[in-house]
């Protein structure tokens, strides 16, 4: 089954998405997401100038060999740009293989391990009152797990909180906009938010929170401890994780479950975190970590150490990634939860989807392949528009982690 064509489709129906499309000699094709938020064109160049020409004439059935060729075979391994490009190719090939077998992708992976996939959504507000309203709305939609982000009194613009009643989209400027941060104000305030949410909504709903890399390890330990009475499902990215050993300190102090890894692109980024059981959930997902082929290895490794998956699923991961992720979630034995931030109607008009939402859960659908397709005519209506992720500064002007 020779590959005869491979191309990249870039579209911006409200935000930029990069899609790899691979076509074989018998007319079967597959697509994969290769979107790297705020750096989309770097991946497009990587694919168009280097990777895609190498695919022509290869046997599309040899997914593993192609993966090794593009990983082991290039001198410059890993990195977000390379691993996102590799993921786009890998998912397109799995899509083709599953279509050729006339099976939904999860069947090829080993069949389903569960009936439905629990997903969490976001509830955010500029103050406590609007945050509580957002939680109520999320529950009304059926979500059983809700990520809570709330504006902090005295801080102007905070991560995860939408501005002016608009949908939350982090890449909000042609050049990076600036947010501000005060650890002191945040740490004093945030436990009271979770106290209020538990008081209002009771013990059943799963609560999550994303610190988005803002704290030092000892500050993260303090927060984890302070949140223990509110039984979080997880506390995410409480400190930057380049230094994996930093999590030893946090772990010694708190039983709040920890999730890390949406910015990781390989198993090597989280080997210590997993092996020493310093985290509970691994967030790395298909599009940024080398596709299904690599994620399968990562998840199997994590399962030995009782670490569960919790795939990143913000809007900057396209419906193509969501479709592939849901097939993976259906199969993977050590599944934890799947993030879901709804795409807009405009975004959904470009991608047809077999996956379905029902009562806080998803199912991937029974369409052969991963069940997501791109309408190229619709995609062409929305040309690329540069959009960058914000940067973050402390109140004295020091550049900080966003």
Q: Which residues bind ligand CS2 (CB under 6 A)?
A: 37, 170, 210, 212, 262, 312, 314, 316, 339, 389
Strand (E) positions, 276-402? 281-282, 308-311, 335-339, 351-353, 356-358, 361-363, 372-374, 391-394, 399-400
Nearer to ligand CS2, 37 or 244 (CB): 37
Q: How far is the CB of 27 from Mg ion (least distance, A)?
A: 39
Give the residue among 114, 113, 94 at the shortest CA–CA distance from 104.
94
Tell me which of Mg ion, ligand CS2, none is bound by residue 314, counting a contact when its beta carbon lies within the kind-specific cut-off of 5 to 8 angstroms: ligand CS2
Strand (E) positions, 313-375? 335-339, 351-353, 356-358, 361-363, 372-374
Distances (CA, A) of 126 to 33, 152, 162, 339: 32, 8, 8, 22
Pick the stretch among 121-129, 208-216, 224-232, 239-247 that binds Mg ion (CB under 5 A).
208-216
Interface with Mg ion, residue 210, by CB under 5 A:
yes
Nearer to ligand CS2, 35 or 266 (CB): 35
Which position among 120, 143, 159, 186 bears the catalytic label?
A: 159
Q: Which of residues 261-280 bind Mg ion (CB under 5 A)?
A: 262
Nearer to ligand CS2, 210 or 269 (CB): 210
Nearer to ligand CS2, 68 or 344 (CB): 344
Tell me which of Mg ion, ligand CS2, none is bound by residue 316, counting a contact when its beta carbon lies within the kind-specific cut-off of 5 to 8 angstroms: ligand CS2
Nearer to Mg ion, 159 or 355 (CB): 159
Q: How far is the CB of 321 from ligand CS2 (least distance, A)?
A: 11
Residues 6+ apart with CB under 8 A from 219: 183, 187, 239
Interface with Mg ion, residue 373, by CB under 5 A:
no
What's the rounded Cα separation, in Å, for the pair 121 and 360? 9
Strand (E) positions, 53-140? 117-125
Check: CB of residue 172 under 8 Å from CB of residue 390. Answer: yes
Known catalytic residue at 212: yes
Q: How far is the CB of 335 from ligand CS2 (least distance, A)?
A: 17
Q: How far is the CB of 93 from ligand CS2 (least distance, A)?
A: 25
Check: CB of residue 14 under 8 Å from CB of residue 347. Answer: yes
Distances (CA, A) of 320 to 93, 229, 323, 349: 13, 38, 5, 13
Q: How far is the CB of 236 from Mg ion (least distance, A)?
A: 5
* Binding mask of the shown chain, residues 217 to 256, with x at each position contacting Mg ion by CB under 5 A: ----------------------------------------
Which pair of structure tokens corresponds to residue 390? 């914000």
Nearer to ligand CS2, 311 or 330 (CB): 311
Q: How far is the CB of 136 from ligand CS2 (least distance, A)?
A: 21
Known catalytic residue at 209: no
> What H or E segment, with its residue span, contains residue 179?
strand 178-181
Pick the stretch among 40-48, 51-59, 193-201, 210-218 that binds Mg ion (CB under 5 A).
210-218
Bridge partners of 234, per DSSP, are: 208
Most distant CA pair in the chain, distance: 62
| Site size with Mg ion, rule: CB under 5 A | 2
Residues 6+ apart with CB under 8 A from 274: 282, 301, 302, 305, 307
Question: In 10 A of CB 381, how many CB atoms?
Answer: 13
Q: How far is the CB of 37 from ligand CS2 (least distance, A)?
A: 4
Pick the stretch among 60-68, 167-175, 180-188, 259-267 that binds Mg ion (CB under 5 A).
259-267
Bridge partners of 22, per DSSP, are: 6, 30
Tell me which of Mg ion, ligand CS2, none is bound by residue 392, counting a contact when its beta carbon lies within the kind-specific cut-off of 5 to 8 angstroms: none
Which position among 106, 143, 186, 212 bears the catalytic label?
A: 212
Nearer to Mg ion, 179 or 262 (CB): 262
The residue with tokens 């982090």 is 170
Contacts with Mg ion by CB under 5 A lie at: 210, 262
Question: Catalytic residue positions?
Answer: 159, 212
């Amino acid at each position: 089954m020779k590959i005869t064509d491979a191309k990249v489709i870039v579209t911006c129906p409200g935000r930029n998405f990069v899609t790899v499309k691979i076509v074989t000699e018998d007319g079967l094709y597959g697509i994969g997401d290769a979107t790297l938020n705020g750096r989309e064109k770097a991946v497009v160049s990587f694919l168009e100038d280097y990777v895609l020409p190498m695919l022509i004439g290869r046997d599309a059935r040899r997914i593993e060999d192609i993966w090794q060729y593009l990983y082991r075979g290039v001198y410059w391994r890993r990195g977000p740009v390379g691993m996102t490009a590799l993921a786009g190719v890998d998912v397109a090939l799995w899509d083709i293989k599953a279509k050729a077998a006339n099976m939904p992708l999860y069947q090829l992976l080993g069949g389903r391990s569960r009936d439905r996939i629990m997903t969490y959504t976001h509830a955010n507000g500029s103050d406590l009152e609007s945050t509580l309203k957002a939680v109520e709305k999320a529950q009304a939609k059926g979500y059983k797990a809700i990520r809570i982000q709330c504006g902090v009194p005295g801080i102007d613009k905070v991560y995860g909180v939408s501005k002016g009643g608009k949908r939350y989209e982090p890449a909000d400027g042609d050049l990076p906009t600036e947010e501000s941060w005060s650890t002191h104000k945040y740490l004093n305030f945030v436990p009271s938010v979770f106290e209020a949410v538990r008081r209002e909504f009771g013990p059943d709903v799963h609560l999550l929170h994303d610190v988005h890399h803002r704290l030092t390890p000892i500050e993260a330990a303090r927060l984890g401890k302070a949140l223990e009475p509110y039984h979080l499902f997880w506390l995410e990215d409480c400190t930057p994780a380049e230094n994996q050993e930093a999590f030893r300190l946090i772990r010694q102090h708190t039983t709040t479950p920890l999730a890390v890894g949406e910015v990781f692109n390989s198993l090597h980024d989280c080997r210590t975190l997993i092996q020493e059981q310093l985290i509970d959930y691994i967030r790395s997902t298909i599009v940024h970590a080398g596709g299904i082929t690599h994620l399968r290895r990562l998840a199997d490794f994590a399962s030995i150490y009782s670490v569960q998956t919790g795939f990143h699923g913000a809007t900057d991961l396209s419906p193509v990634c969501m479709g592939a992720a849901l097939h993976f979630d259906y199969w993977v034995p050590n599944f934890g939860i799947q993030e879901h931030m709804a795409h807009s109607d405009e975004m959904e008009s470009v991608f047809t989807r077999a996956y379905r939402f029902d009562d806080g859960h998803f199912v991937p659908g029974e369409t052969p392949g991963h069940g997501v397709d791109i309408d190229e005519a619709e995609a062409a209506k929305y040309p690329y528009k540069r959009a960058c992720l914000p940067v973050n500064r402390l109140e004295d002007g020091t550049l900080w982690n966003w």
